[in-house]
Amino acid sequence: MPANTKARGDALLRLARAAIAREFGQTAADPGRPDWLDLPGATFVTLTQRGKLRGCIGSLEARRPLGEDVETNARAAAFHDPRFPPLTPAELADTRIEVSILSEAEPIRFTDREDALRQVRPGVDGIILEYGSHRATFLPQVWEQLPEPEQFLAHLMIKAGLPAYYWSDGIRLYRYTVEKFKEDTP
């Protein structure tokens, strides 16, 4: 990847916006495709309007090229997030895009709920929770709304379809970090 973080972020944000715009039949000037977009990468694309979530879809594991992952997740966030109706062409100009590149997830080793809570790093860690067929994640950005580890974990449990304060020895937690890029203006 290029050493210039701003250039990398600008390229990823343009790529995400162009992928959504193409679905509306709009075209953007092709700025070229840097080689680093062909390296494997896992991303989340988050859409907001006036500071409120409008869509967020992503990949937890790097299974395809970074550029393809961004484009696929941008379209999915815009048109297939089940929490929202599909984005309309009129909304695109008011939509702010954020791209998060995920590090590889690493398991958190813990003895019980309290030990797990002590180990998470508020504002730093994205967390993946797995229990049987239940799975959910929160990006590190969610700490802005849920700054206390107990609250963060309770909401993650609910997102996974479990009771907020459920606990079992079968629960698995993983942490990851992100490098995020956000449009200044849509």
- pTM of this prediction? 0.90
Predicted confidence (pLDDT) per residue in 3-47, tens digit? 578 889 999 999 999 999 999 998 876 667 889 999 999 999 999
Asked whether the beta carbons of 91 and 24 are under 8 A apart, the reply is: no
CATH for the 106-177 domain, from 3.30.1490.150, 1.10.630.10, 3.30.70.260, 3.30.465.10: 3.30.1490.150
For 178, counting Cβ atoms within 10 Å of its Cβ (0-12 exposed, 13-18 middle, 19+ buried), the class is buried
User: Hunting for tokens 């790097």 — which residue is that?
Assistant: 62
Domain regions of the chain by residue span: 5-102, 106-177
The identity of residue 97, as a single letter, is I
CB 70: neighbour CB atoms within 10 A? 28
Q: Decide if pLDDT at 168 tops 80.
A: yes
**Mean pLDDT on 71-88:** 97
pLDDT score for 29: 66
Average pLDDT, integer, range 39-65: 96
Fold of 5-102: Glycoprotein, Type 4 Pilin (3.30.700)
Average pLDDT over residues 138-160: 96
Q: DSSP characters for 4-21?
A: -HHHHHHHHHHHHHHHHH
Cβ–Cβ < 8 Å for 58, 70: no
Tokens of 91: 């909304």
So what's the pLDDT on residue 33?
80
Q: Which string of b and e fits 131-170 if b means at least 16 CB within 10 Å?
A: beeeebbbbbbbbeebeebeebbbbbbeebebeeeeeeee
The pLDDT tens digits for 109-136 are 999 999 999 999 999 999 999 999 999 9
Higher pLDDT: 148 or 6? It is: 148
Cα(72)–Cα(93) distance, integer angstroms? 20
Question: Tens digit of pLDDT for each residue in 80-110?
Answer: 999 999 999 999 999 999 999 999 999 999 9
Residues 131-147 have a mean pLDDT of 96
The span from the CA of 51 to the CA of 102, in Å, is 22
- SS3 (DSSP) at 174: strand
pLDDT band at 1 (very low <50, low <70, confident <90, very high): very low
